Structures are given as structure tokens and as C-alpha cells.
């Protein structure tokens, strides 16, 4: 997936169409589940078929989670026939299918399997019959049921050894799907975190290539941040900067490849400073995580260097604190890597 994928659900689809219209004909993947019990009603079958027909018409590639119950509900015995009838691109095989059935399906149709539960011997058999399979993690609606980072990395490491690409989910607890409304993460610690921070943890820190938003949509700022990265590979960092340094907004900087763990050093910052300008000392205070600093004239040739603080550092009379990353985006300081390009964008504090 070149872009962040989205999830759609029969019960909320009429509302989700609004943002999906902006994505049509752009090679986006969407994920849906066709065996969510609480969505079932007398109109479900027709609503699901209408949703999938609309998605296919608009150029989306659909990954559908199915079980044996899905077949019975739609009145089909053959999984491939059902997939073709509904315009599904990839089938994620869930409960109720035997090993023989799963292997048979893999020969005839693109499939994905449950990354967390599929035994490795079966994964190897699937790889032999179809090179185009991949693994999709679960999302976890109930609090304290999501995976830990350790579990996630262990599973992914085993799958990567087999040459299997992995898909994981990130939540948005501000636009969460019911009935529990507490976000739909793969990783438990991401449940209430900002979606953009979760995206960069998956993409940059955990090296997950394929990421899907499990909840019902993105916040406007998160959508802007993720889109900027997918388009230009620049990480946008919401922050508030002192008025004297507002010229730093929307300028692209490179994090020095040799930046220490305690701070990102912005490579172009000294050259970027206005020629001949003098950075007078001001606001020299303790530097907490997320502080943006500028070395002043007392630091000699380092004057003008901009840093983003990642660990607490004490007050230094040679260093001005000129700004602060928005509290909801402080997590970016854990996951953005040395060598990345970043830009400051005006936040809300």
C-alpha cells in the first residue's frame, strides 16, 4: 500500500462516504469486515452489497475479512464466487476454514491471513502455492487486549523471515467505532495516542510497510501530516514558536544523521539563520521533551543551531528555548529517525 489504508463498515458507511469521495481513483486500499455480529440487521445483506459495489465503482481495492458465517449469510458456498460477486480484491481468512480450504483458496484468489494466529507451518505451505499472500494483524476493541511491542515485533520477525509482508492497524479514539468506542489498535499502547504519532511509530520505528486506520476517520491535522509525509517524505511537527522565530514555520530541515539520543540537531539551521543576524540570549531555561531551542551568540560558531529536545536537559545560558511541540504530538520525538526531513507547522500548543 503506497498510502495509509482506511476501514469502512456497513453500519457507518453513509457517514464515511464523505471523506472517501476525496480518495477515489487514487489506488487506495480499504478494509472491511463482513462478520461483525452487532452490525447484522434485516437490511445488512443489501447494505453490504451496495457498499462494496460503490467502493469498486470508485476504484478502491477492498480487503474483506470473512468467516464461514459470511458465506452462509450471503447464501454462497464458494468463497471465490462470493469475492468476485462482491468486488473484493483480497480475502482475509478468519474463523471456520480448515487448512485444506485455506490452501485451496490461496491457489485461486489473493488472500491474507491472521498475522497473530496463523501457524508458521501453514504459512510456509501458503507461500508455496501463492507468492501474493500477506499477513494482517487484528485490531482490538477491548482495552488491555492489544499486543505489546515485544509480541508485535516477534510475530513480524518470524513472518519477515518467510518473506511475508505485514499489515497493522492504528486507531483514532476521537472517531472510534462502537459498540465500545475506545479505539481499534493493534498495539495496546497506541489506543489513545494521536493517529499521526501512531502512524510514524509503525512506519519509521517498527518498519511496517502497510498501515490501515481501523476507526472511522482522521482528525484534520493528522490527515494533513500523514498526507505530507506520503507525498514528500517530510514529517510535519505541530508546535508553537516564539514570534521572533516564526520564519522557521514550513521550512524543511534535515535531522543530522549523527544527532544524539537527547536531541535532534537540524542540519541546515545555522546556514538558514539570516546572514549577519545576532541571536541574543533570552528565555534560557530547563529544556523538557519537545522543547525547540536555538543556540545564542554565547555559543560562538554554534549560534543559530536549532534543536528539538528528546530528553530532559538542564538550563544553559548559551541556549534559548524558542518553542514547544504540541502536547498531543510529543510522541513524534520517540519515532522520527535521524536523517529524516522535518518541518515545523503552526499548532495549538
Q: What is the pLDDT of residues 89-110, one digit of tens each?
A: 999 997 789 999 999 999 999 9
> Quick one: pLDDT band at residue 131, thresholds 50, 70, 90?
confident
Domain with CATH 3.20.20.70 in the chain: 5-232
Q: Grid coordinates in use for 244? A: 521572533
The mean pLDDT value of the chain amounts to 94
Give the mean model confidence (pLDDT) for residues 210-217: 96
CATH topology of domain 237-346: Cyclophilin (2.40.100)
Q: What is the mean pLDDT of residues 129-147?
A: 94
Instruction: Name the band, by pLDDT with cuts 50, 70 and 90, for residue 154.
Output: very high
Helix 99-108 and helix 79-86, axial crossing angle in degrees, nearest 10: 40
Residue 170 phi, psi (nearest 5): -120, 150
- Higher-pLDDT residue of 286 and 272 is 286
Per-residue model confidence as pLDDT tens digits over 49-63: 999 999 999 999 999
pLDDT of the residue at 26: 76
- CB-based burial, 91-127: b 16+ in 10 Å, e otherwise: bbbbeebeeeebbebbeebbbbbebeebeeeebeebe
CB atoms < 10 A from the CB of 245, how many? 17
pLDDT in tens, 111-129: 999 998 899 999 999 999 9
The yes/no answer on whether domain 5-232 falls in CATH 3.20.20.70 is yes
Q: In b/e form, how buried is each residue of 49-63, taking b as 16+ CB within 10 angstroms?
A: eebbebbeebebbbb
Percent residues over pLDDT 70 in the chain? 99
Which residue intervals of the chain bear CATH 2.40.100.10?
237-346
pLDDT band at 273 (very low <50, low <70, confident <90, very high): low
Segment 67-74 shows an average pLDDT of 88
Residue 300: band (very low, low, confident or very high) from pLDDT cuts 50, 70, 90: very high
C-alpha span between 28 and 5 (Å, rounded): 6
The pLDDT, as a whole number, for residue 274 is 54
Instruction: Provide the pLDDT confidence category of residue 207 given band limits of 50, 70 and 90.
Output: very high
Among 10-24, 285-299, 308-322, 324-338, the minimum mean pLDDT is found in 10-24
277 pLDDT tier (thresholds 50, 70, 90) = confident
Question: What's the Cα-to-Cα distance from 318 to each of 55, 128, 284, 285, 300, rounded to whole Å?
Answer: 57, 62, 7, 10, 9
Residue written as grid cell 485451496:
104
Dist CA 86 CA 48 (whole Å): 9
Residue 272: predicted pLDDT:
66
Residues 6+ apart with CB under 8 A from 125: 99, 103
The torsion angle over the Cα atoms of residues 63, 69, 75 and 80, rounded to 10 degrees, is 40
DSSP readout, 285-341? --B-TTEEEEE-GGGGGGTT-EEEE-S-B---TTEEEEEEE-GGGTTHHHHPPTT-E
Q: What are phi and psi of 184, to 5 degrees?
A: -130, 75
238-253 pLDDT tens trace = 999 999 999 999 999 9
Q: How confident is the model at residue 27 (pLDDT cuts 50, 70, 90)?
A: confident
Q: Mean per-residue pLDDT for 248-259?
A: 97
Output the pLDDT for position 170: 98
Percent of the chain with pLDDT over 90: 83
pLDDT tier at 348 (50, 70, 90 boundaries)?
A: confident
Is residue 276 scored above 60 in pLDDT? no
In three-state secondary structure terms, 14 is helix
State the Cα–Cα distance between residues 30 and 121, nearest whole angstrom. Answer: 29
Amino acid at each position: 500500500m503506497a498510502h495509509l489504508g482506511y476501514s469502512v463498515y456497513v453500519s457507518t458507511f453513509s457517514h464515511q462516504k464523505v471523506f472517501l469521495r476525496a480518495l477515489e481513483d487514487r489506488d487506495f486500499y480499504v478494509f472491511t469486515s463482513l462478520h461483525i455480529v452487532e452490525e447484522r440487521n434485516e437490511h445488512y445483506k443489501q447494505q453490504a452489497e451496495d457498499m462494496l459495489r460503490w467502493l469498486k465503482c470508485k476504484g478502491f481495492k477492498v480487503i474483506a475479512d470473512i468467516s464461514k458465517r459470511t458465506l452462509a449469510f450471503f447464501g454462497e458456498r464458494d468463497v471465490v464466487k462470493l469475492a468476485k460477486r462482491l468486488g473484493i480484491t483480497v480475502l482475509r481468512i478468519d474463523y471456520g476454514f480448515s487448512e485444506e480450504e485455506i490452501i485451496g483458496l490461496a491457489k485461486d484468489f489473493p488472500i491474507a491471513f491472521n498475522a497473530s494466529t496463523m501457524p508458521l507451518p501453514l504459512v510456509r505451505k501458503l507461500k508455496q502455492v501463492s507468492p501474493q499472500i500477506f499477513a494482517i494483524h487484528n485490531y482490538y476493541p477491548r482495552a488491555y487486549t492489544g499486543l505489546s511491542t515485544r509480541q508485535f515485533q516477534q510475530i513480524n520477525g518470524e513472518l519477515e523471515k518467510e518473506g511475508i509482508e505485514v499489515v497493522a492497524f492504528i486507531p483514532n479514539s476521537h472517531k472510534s467505532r462502537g459498540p465500545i468506542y475506545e479505539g481499534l489498535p493493534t498495539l495496546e499502547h497506541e489506543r489513545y495516542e494521536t493517529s499521526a504519532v501512531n502512524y510514524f511509530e509503525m512506519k519509521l520505528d517498527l518498519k511496517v510497510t502497510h498501515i490501515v486506520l481501523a476507526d472511522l476517520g482522521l482528525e484534520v491535522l493528522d490527515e494533513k501530516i500523514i498526507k505530507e509525509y506520503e507525498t514528500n517524505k517530510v514529517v510535519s511537527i505541530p508546535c508553537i514558536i516564539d514570534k521572533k522565530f516564526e520564519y522557521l514555520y514550513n521550512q524543511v530541515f534535515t535531522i543530522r544523521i549523527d544527532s544524539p539520543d537527547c536531541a535532534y540537531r537540524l542540519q541546515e539551521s545555522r546556514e538558514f539563520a539570516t546572514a549577519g543576524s545576532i541571536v541574543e540570549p533570552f528565555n534560557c531555561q530547563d529544556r523538557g521533551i519537545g522543547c525547540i531551542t536555538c543556540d545564542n551568540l554565547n555559543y560562538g560558531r554554534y549560534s543559530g543551531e536549532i534543536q528539538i529536545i528528546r530528553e530532559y536537559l538542564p538550563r544553559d545560558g548559551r541556549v534559548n528555548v524558542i518553542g514547544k511541540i504540541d502536547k498531543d504530538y510529543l510522541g513524534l520525538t520517540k519515532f522520527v529517525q535521524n536523517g529524516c526531513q522535518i518541518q515545523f507547522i503552526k499548532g495549538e500548543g
